[in-house]
């Protein structure tokens, strides 16, 4: 797919255009709608478009307070309420429910900051594994990943510069990696998730998809604040996690090595993270917490098992079979690991980098790929930014995730920005016929 | 799961017991039924059990002609007709159809040879990608692979020593690799597929799942005959294909290297197969042929799109969009590649070995894994035997596929037997807590 100059710009580009008065929010909305009209019959990133977007954009253009996200045209994952639109959660079980009476808190906040909700993006069924109809804009035979399939694809296809997603296991990191966009998982608990249909309160986190690290850092700054400053030297220590035993592919392993070498060349002290024992436990505990909480928090779904997928039914049944004690023990182990990792990063400084997925996007017919590389960090509720730029020999995107601790997101952004530049320079392979 | 001495034996062990008169077919059927009774509520390998199996076993025990498969207790993938049982194809769209009036030709043949059909094993929906309920007996959180999910799991769990499967893309090779059993894809066209609900006549092949290479070689010999003899030296040349650019994981890559080194140590001349250009084309052409033929041969399914999965609907819609010329060109390229490969193996002798899947079985919730490593060989209709024995560091099975040309299966079996022995010796890692 052509992703040339007819794209809407990156978020900061758009904001700059609007703030400088060269374009209005209405024009940006119209451009995004045009792009969707042209390409979405193929990409299928959008579940529904808002009929109010143009009117909302006019209202933003009429504002006199110059809000910081004025002109940001945003896609909203269809598990997140937008007033006036039904929240379908990618499920036939919710076909044509009533429109949401109110928007989710996060939607209200970004709209107050000047953003316009363009519509709802496709999600896997209830943000689990039954696929959405969305294709990967970079390679139509590949999955865009899930569960934030439409949000990642809409950004990758240049339809919008910002989309809201979520992550309970690997629902933002994986589609960002597969589609070649930036994905940020916000630290668990750092923003209010009211109005978002989650699966697991201890794990559900907000996701943001953008085209650049600076774009996502800007939105994070507005939503959460700046936290501790990055290392003034600009040479943040980098601890490399290679995902041993998690079925990482050879092309992804090569991308991680290239990322580590590139950061080292930029002056970052690079060391290996010896964390396999924790990862092994976290990867097993994460699904325990997720299944138990899904069964406990969504008894309504189990009663509609004829309307939901086998995968989701199995998650809920599995969750019902997990006793309270098993669940509590898993939670304690996750908290212990997090405490140890915070201690490690406090003492040694810096961030962790590693593979964002096992490899490039799998074939679309096989599902939405594996969240396994995200489970350890998600089980600890940590903020993560996935950086695009690496590619396989045939041109498929590979993401590198940068993980840190809450309140020190500035370090993550600093390393992610360097990595974004390094990977763009070293990625000399051009996409082949498949891309 | 315990897979100790309470298992039914390997196929040749069972046949030997029956031929020597130590046990009857009835006892073997009862033992298999007991094993299923005990374990299948967890494994879910079986879609239905035959009510006639004990009676059929009595009839076999009463035969005076000492048929070669006397006492072989067999699972039959539920896209293959067995007289008296409905063929459900793993789909809600076929819930409770009428029982099949006649058995598929292959079922009649193995029953004539003395086998007893124990029942129907679970399949993904119409042998495509919407998962069956089956778990991987080696690791309950993992997929057994698809589409012959139940056949592979039933053999891996020691319920039966032989199961019938099929392969259109990677439906036998992949589950064999994930479950740690032997899987053979018979050369396309080598047996009559009447009574099997296929997807793509140019690609559909019979699959056999067993516990040992000798077991599957014996069945192949009975069904297809012996063909050309293996190299009398026992030192068949081995051409190693590493699956470049097909997202092969690091653990699988290591297993392929170990397999190549082991075969070299056994005296096989080992060289690298330079076949990437063909593979690249075959991997793209295989889905074209499959989608076009699925749409052409199963118009009935598209008319029931509300009853079938999104994945299958997309296959059929994709197939309808592929023109006759595109399809014919893909067929020609596949035939050309096959001709070149036959020429290569005629001139150089030997077989090809390579990764049977990208890595170990993925998490069950994510689907049934990728068939990508099978597409090139399946597009050429070649016979393939997948050999178990390699494992990841955490004990998950990894299969190595041995590919040859029709009529020279003896070479495949010779190398597969050596590989089976070599991998059993080198696989010193014991399964960890996950397995």
Report strand pairing: A238-240 vs A182-185.
Answer: unpaired
> Which residues of A, range 284-303, sit inside 8 Å of B by Cβ?
284, 287
> For residue A426, what pLDDT is reported?
73
Residue position matching structure tokens 């629902």: A171
B248 & B220 share domain: no
Contact of A249 with chain B, judged by CB distance below 8 Å, is answered with: yes
Residue A433 is assigned to a structural domain of this protein: no
Nearest CA in chain B to A395: B245
Report strand pairing: A384-391 vs A182-185.
Answer: antiparallel
- The three state secondary structure string of chain A is CCCCCCCCCCHHHHHHHHHCCCCCHHHHHHHHHHHHHHHHHHHCCEEEECCCHHHHHHHHHHCCCCCCCCCCEEEEECCECCCCCECCCCCHHHCCCCECCCCCHHHHHHHHCCCEEEEEECCCHHHCCCCCCCCECCECCECCCCCCHHHHHHHHCCCCCEEEEEECCCCCHHHHHHHCCEEEECCCCCCCCCCECCCCCCCCEEEEEECCHHHHHHHHHHHHCCCCCCCCCCCCCEEECCCCCCCCEHHHHHHHHHHHHHHHHCCCCEEECCCHHHHHHHHHHHHHHHHHHHHHHCHHHHCCCCCCCHHHHHHHHHHHCCCHHHHHHHHHHHHHHHHHHHHHHHHHCCEEEEECCCCCCCEHHHCCCCCCCCHHHHHCCCCEEEEEEEECCCCCEEEEEEECCCCCHHHHHHHHHHHHHHHHHHCCCCCCCCC
- d(C-alpha A186, C-alpha B321), whole Å: 41
B77 catalytic per annotation: yes
Nearest CA in chain B to A125: B310
With an 8 Å Cβ cutoff, are A393 and B248 in contact?
no
Average pLDDT over residues A238-243: 97
Position A432 pLDDT exceeds 70: no
Under 8 Å CB-to-CB from B234, ≥6 apart: which residues? Answer: B267, B414
Average pLDDT over residues A285-304: 92
Domain count, chain A: 2
> Which residues of A, range 113-132, sit inside 8 Å of B by Cβ?
128-131
Contact of A95 with chain B, judged by CB distance below 8 Å, is answered with: no
Contact of A338 with chain B, judged by CB distance below 8 Å, is answered with: no
> For residue A42, what pLDDT is reported?
96
B375 & B397 share domain: yes
With an 8 Å Cβ cutoff, are B129 and A367 in contact?
yes
Q: Which of the four pLDDT bands, split at 50, 70 and 90, describes residue B231?
A: confident
> Which residues of A, range 257-286, sit inside 8 Å of B by Cβ?
280, 284
Residue B161 is assigned to a structural domain of this protein: yes
A309 & A183 share domain: no
Under 8 Å CB-to-CB from A194, ≥6 apart: which residues? Answer: A104, A105
> For residue A427, what pLDDT is reported?
61
Instruction: Enter the tokens of residue B141.
Output: 């959180």
Position B40 pLDDT exceeds 60: yes
The alpha carbon of residue A286 is apart from the nearest alpha carbon of chain B, in Å, by 12
Position A94 pLDDT exceeds 70: yes
Residue A2 is assigned to a structural domain of this protein: no
Contact of B317 with chain A, judged by CB distance below 8 Å, is answered with: no
Average predicted confidence (pLDDT) for chain A? 93
With an 8 Å Cβ cutoff, are A133 and B368 in contact?
no
User: What is each CA distance from A250 to B249, B360, B398, in whole angstroms?
Assistant: 5, 14, 16
> For residue B433, what pLDDT is reported?
34
Position A2 pLDDT exceeds 50: no
Instruction: Enter the tokens of residue A188.
Output: 């668990």
Query: Which of B131, B249, B284 lies nearest to residue A247, judging by beta carbons?
Result: B249
Residue A383 is assigned to a structural domain of this protein: yes
Q: Which of the four pLDDT bands, split at 50, 70 and 90, describes residue B9?
A: low
> For residue B431, what pLDDT is reported?
40
Contact of B364 with chain A, judged by CB distance below 8 Å, is answered with: yes
> For residue A265, what pLDDT is reported?
96
A300 & A173 share domain: no
Nearest CA in chain B to A315: B365
Position B6 pLDDT exceeds 90: no
> For residue A4, what pLDDT is reported?
36
Tell which of B193, B224, B255 closes a domain.
B224
Residue position matching structure tokens 């290297």: B257
A208 & A246 share domain: no
Residue B1 is assigned to a structural domain of this protein: no
Average pLDDT over residues A164-176: 98
Position B96 pLDDT exceeds 70: no
- d(C-alpha B288, C-alpha A27), whole Å: 41
Strands of the sheet containing B397-403, edge to edge, are B46-49, B116-121, B73-77, B162-167, B205-210, B182-185, B384-391, B397-403, B351-355, B238-240, B270-272
Position B104 pLDDT exceeds 60: yes
Residue A76 is assigned to a structural domain of this protein: yes
Under 8 Å CB-to-CB from B300, ≥6 apart: which residues? Answer: none
DSSP code of residue B79: T
B71 & B196 share domain: yes
Residue B4 is assigned to a structural domain of this protein: no
A242 & A382 share domain: yes
Average pLDDT over residues B369-394: 97
Contact of B328 with chain A, judged by CB distance below 8 Å, is answered with: no
**Which residues of chain B neighbour A429 with C-beta distances below 8 Å?**
none
- d(C-alpha A178, C-alpha A143), whole Å: 8
The alpha carbon of residue B371 is apart from the nearest alpha carbon of chain A, in Å, by 8
Please give the share of chain B, as a percent, with pLDDT higher than 70.
Answer: 95
Average pLDDT over residues A338-362: 96
Residue A21 is assigned to a structural domain of this protein: yes
Task: Name the least confident of A22-36, A254-268, B303-317.
Answer: B303-317
The alpha carbon of residue A218 is apart from the nearest alpha carbon of chain B, in Å, by 33
- d(C-alpha A233, C-alpha A108), whole Å: 37
**Which structural domain range is residue B384 located in?**
238-426
Count of residues making up chain A: 435
Tell which of B178, B198, B224 closes a domain.
B224
With an 8 Å Cβ cutoff, are A359 and B251 in contact?
no
Q: Which of the four pLDDT bands, split at 50, 70 and 90, describes residue B425?
A: confident
CATH of the domain at A90: 3.90.1300.10
A152 & A192 share domain: yes
Please give the share of chain A, as a percent, with pLDDT higher than 70.
Answer: 95
Average predicted confidence (pLDDT) for chain B? 93
Contact of A314 with chain B, judged by CB distance below 8 Å, is answered with: yes
> For residue B285, what pLDDT is reported?
97
Query: Which of B133, B247, B284 lies nearest to residue A251, judging by beta carbons?
Result: B247
Please tell me which residue, B96 or B214, carries the higher pLDDT value: B214
With an 8 Å Cβ cutoff, are B133 and A369 in contact?
no
Contact of B140 with chain A, judged by CB distance below 8 Å, is answered with: no
Contact of A317 with chain B, judged by CB distance below 8 Å, is answered with: no
Contact of A368 with chain B, judged by CB distance below 8 Å, is answered with: yes
With an 8 Å Cβ cutoff, are B360 and A315 in contact?
no
Tell which of A166, A198, A224 closes a domain.
A224
pLDDT in tens, B191-201: 999 999 999 99
**Which residues of chain A neighbour B434 with C-beta distances below 8 Å?**
284
Contact of B368 with chain A, judged by CB distance below 8 Å, is answered with: yes
A168 & A30 share domain: yes
A185 & A263 share domain: no
Q: Which of the four pLDDT bands, split at 50, 70 and 90, describes residue B5?
A: very low
Position B432 pLDDT exceeds 50: no
Which residues of A are part of the catalytic machinery? 77, 147, 171
Picking from B124, B116, B178, B115, the residue whose alpha carbon sits closest to that of residue B148 is B124
The alpha carbon of residue A146 is apart from the nearest alpha carbon of chain B, in Å, by 10
Position B415 pLDDT exceeds 70: yes
Q: Which position among B50, B171, B205, B374 bears the catalytic label?
A: B171
Position B414 pLDDT exceeds 70: yes
Position B430 pLDDT exceeds 90: no
A412 & A363 share domain: yes
B286 & B308 share domain: yes
């Amino acid at each position: 797919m052509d992703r040339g100059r007819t794209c809407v710009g990156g978020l900061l580009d758009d904001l700059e255009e609007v703030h400088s008065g060269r374009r209005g929010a209405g024009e940006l909305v119209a451009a995004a709608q045009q792009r969707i009209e042209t390409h979405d019959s193929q990409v299928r990133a959008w579940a529904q478009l808002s009929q109010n977007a143009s009117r909302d954009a006019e209202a933003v253009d009429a504002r006199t307070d110059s809000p910081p996200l004025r002109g940001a045209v945003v896609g909203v994952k269809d598990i997140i309420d937008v007033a006036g639109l039904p929240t379908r959660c990618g499920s036939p079980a919710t076909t044509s429910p009533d429109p949401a009476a109110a928007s989710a808190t996060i939607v209200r906040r970004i709209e107050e900051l000047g953003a316009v909700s363009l519509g709802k993006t496709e999600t896997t069924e209830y943000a689990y594994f039954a696929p959405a109809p969305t294709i990967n804009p970079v390679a139509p035979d590949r999955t865009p990943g899930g569960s934030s399939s439409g949000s990642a694809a809409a950004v990758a296809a240049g339809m919008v510069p910002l989309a809201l997603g979520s992550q309970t296991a690997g629902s933002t990191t994986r589609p960002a990696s597969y589609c070649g966009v930036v994905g940020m998982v916000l630290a668990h608990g750092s923003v209010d998730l009211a109005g978002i249909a989650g699966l697991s309160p201890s794990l559900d986190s907000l996701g943001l998809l953008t085209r650049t690290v600076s774009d996502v850092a800007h939105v994070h700054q507005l939503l959460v604040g700046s936290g501790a400053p990055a290392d003034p030297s600009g040479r943040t220590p980098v601890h490399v996690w290679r995902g041993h035993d998690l079925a990482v592919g050879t092309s992804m392993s090569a991308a991680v090595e290239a990322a580590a070498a590139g950061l080292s060349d930029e002056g970052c002290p690079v060391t290996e993270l010896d964390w396999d024992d924790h990862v092994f436990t976290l990867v097993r505990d994460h699904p325990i917490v997720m299944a138990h909480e899904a069964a406990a928090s969504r008894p309504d779904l189990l009663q509609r098992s004829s309307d939901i997928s086998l995968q989701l039914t199995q998650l809920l049944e599995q969750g019902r079979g997990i006793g309270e004690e098993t669940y509590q023990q898993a939670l304690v182990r996750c908290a212990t690991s997090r405490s140890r990792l915070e201690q490690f990063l406090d003492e040694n400084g810096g961030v962790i980098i590693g593979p964002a997925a096992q490899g490039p996007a799998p074939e679309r017919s096989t599902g939405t790929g594996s969240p396994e590389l995200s489970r350890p960090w998600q089980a600890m509720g940590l903020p993560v930014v996935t950086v695009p730029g690496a590619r396989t020999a045939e041109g498929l995107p590979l993401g590198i995730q940068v993980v840190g601790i809450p309140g020190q997101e500035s370090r993550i952004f600093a390393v992610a920005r360097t990595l974004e530049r390094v990977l763009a320079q070293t990625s000399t392979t051009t996409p082949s016929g498949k891309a």
